[in-house]
Amino acid sequence: MRACDFWTTSGTVESAPFPIASLRLRPSRDPRANELQMMFPSGMRVDEQLAVADRVLAGVQRWRDQIAEVADRQRTAADELAAAREEIARLKAEREGGGDA
C-alpha cells in the first residue's frame, strides 16, 4: 500500500504506550486525509520494538533537521537583505544631504 498526503498545520501525531506501542500519523484534520497507524506484532520483544522506534526517530530527526537548515538559510538571507536595504536607504539619504553623518 502506498498513500500520499500533504501535511498541514492541523496534522497530528499520536502514540499509545506499551504494550500496544502504536504510532498514528494524520497529516490534517480533513476527514478524507490518509492516516497511517503503525503497530508491532504481538510477539515482538520490547527490545526489538525499541530498535525499530530508534530507527524511526532517527529518520524523523534527519527530516526535521533538513527542514530546519533550509529555514535557517532563508532567515539569514532575509536578514541580510533587510540589512542591505537599510544600508542603501542610509547611503541615499546621506548622498541627498538628508543624513547626519
pLDDT tens track for 27-62: 999 888 889 999 999 999 999 999 999 999 999 999
Q: What is the spatial distance between Cα 37 and Cα 23, in angstroms, rounded to a whole number?
A: 6
CA dihedral over 56, 62, 67, 71, signed as positive or negative: positive
Q: Could you give the number of structural domains in the chain? A: 2
| 34 and 46 together in one domain | no
Owning domain of residue 9: 1-39
pLDDT at 51: 97
Say if residue 98's pLDDT is above 80: no
| 70 and 31 together in one domain | no
| 21 and 10 together in one domain | yes
| 5 and 29 together in one domain | yes
| 23 and 52 together in one domain | no
Q: What is the spatial distance between Cα 7 and Cα 5, in angstroms, rounded to a whole number?
A: 7
| 12 and 50 together in one domain | no
What is the rounded average pLDDT for all residues in the chain?
Answer: 91
List the 36-38 sheet strands across, edge first: 12-15, 23-26, 36-38
| 50 and 95 together in one domain | yes
pLDDT at 58: 97
| 48 and 35 together in one domain | no
| 52 and 94 together in one domain | yes
